[in-house]
Amino acid sequence: MRKLILSITSIALFGLLAILGCNSRGGGGTGPGDDQLFKIHGIFVRDVNSTGTKDKTSFQLKRSDTLFNLATLTIDTFTIDTVADTTYYYRQSRPDFLRPGQSHSINLVYAPNSLNFTDSLLMPDSFSFIVTNPPNHQNTGAQLVNIEWTGSANAGGYLVFCSHDSALIDTSFFVTTGTTAAEIPADAFRIGGNPVSGLYNIFIVAYRGGLFPYTGMPFNLPSNYTPTDTTYSSIVSGRVGAAFICKLDTVRVPPP
């Protein structure tokens, strides 16, 4: 009888251990080996203006919705480190590691979570634009302004941004790919219907995959801009974009 009791006890104990073992990963464990979901958001940027003639790469990584900086991020052959005391992966240098019009590879590795994400993205190619009206760049009555550009290969769309030199007013809007002309509305140069004098910088940004804020960004994104994420794998989602910022042009509204 004693042997039978021991056998029943042993069976119960083994059954409990089996249940615990089966739920060791599914029970919400937080160890470094758990397959938690990652989100990656980032952008490559080539800016040819004198104040930003640099290549920039800015990425943010989250694991289970928490900022995370232990992964190794590589763009082509360049390792992108996190900025000191932050969780942002950021690299800025002279224009030597991003090639407009060409593809760049992305690799994100964190072995404890079995993260080994690889993707590639085409950079928009170089292009230029001009203000066609007013021809002398003097917007005397704060009228609309016409602009034209040469087009950028690989661009998924364009952002037009017009800003006052003292940050009193700015306007930004998107233009679809295949379009190489736009009108900046008269309201971009007015407050309350009244012209605001001063110099206005006009940027055109060719982008692919989406736009994201980054350090030193010379333009603002429209307030209603809400790009969607892409599911790359069972544990990685997010958005990776690239942008080429062409040489800016200006329009002046003279004092009344």
Q: How far apart are CA 251 and CA 201, in angstroms?
A: 7
Amino acid making up residue 139: N
**Each residue of 12-68: pLDDT tens digit?**
333 433 333 333 322 223 334 445 699 999 999 999 987 767 889 999 999 999 999
The domain made up of 129-253 has a fold known as: Immunoglobulin-like (2.60.40)
Give the per-residue pLDDT at 227. Answer: 84
How do residues 93-138 score in pLDDT, each as one tens digit? 877 788 899 999 999 999 998 999 999 999 999 999 999 999 899 9
The whole-angstrom separation of Cα 22 and Cα 124 is 49
* Two structure tokens written together for 153: 């290969």
Burial 84-100 (b: 16+ CB within 10 A, else e): eeeebbbbeeeeebbeb
Closest CA to 59 of 91, 84, 37, 105: 91
Domain definitions of the chain by residue range: 38-122, 129-253
Distance between CA atoms of 175 and 210, rounded to whole angstroms? 13
pTM over 0.75: yes
Percent of the chain with pLDDT over 90: 59
Q: What is the pLDDT of residue 128?
A: 94
Separation between Cα atoms, residue 19 and residue 5, nearest integer Å: 21
For the beta carbon of residue 207, count every other beta carbon within 10 angstroms: 25
Instruction: Convert the pLDDT of each residue in 155-208 to its tens digit.
Output: 999 999 999 999 899 999 999 988 999 999 999 999 998 999 999 999 999 999
Residues 209, 241: contact at Cβ < 8 Å? yes
Predicted local confidence at residue 145, as pLDDT:
97
User: What stretch of H or E contains 105?
Assistant: strand 103-110
Q: Average pLDDT for residues 70-95, to the nearest whole number? A: 86
Tell me which residue has tokens 């009888």. Answer: 1
Q: What's the mean pLDDT in 242-249? A: 94
CA atoms within 13 A on the CB side of 70: 10
Q: What is the pLDDT of residue 11?
A: 35
What φ, ψ does residue 40 adopt, rounded to 5°? -120, 130
Higher pLDDT, 77 or 251: 251
Highest CATH level, class, for 38-122: mainly beta
pLDDT of residue 141: 81
The predicted structure's pLDDT at residue 15: 41
Residue 31 backbone phi and psi in degrees, to 5: -65, 160
Residue 2 confidence (pLDDT): 39
- Report which of 56, 248, 104, 225 is spatially closest to residue 157, judged by C-alpha positions: 225
Question: Are 38-122 and 129-253 equal in CATH topology?
Answer: yes
pLDDT of residue 36: 60
**Rounded distance between C-alpha atoms, residue 31 and residue 206, angstroms:** 42
pLDDT of residue 39: 94
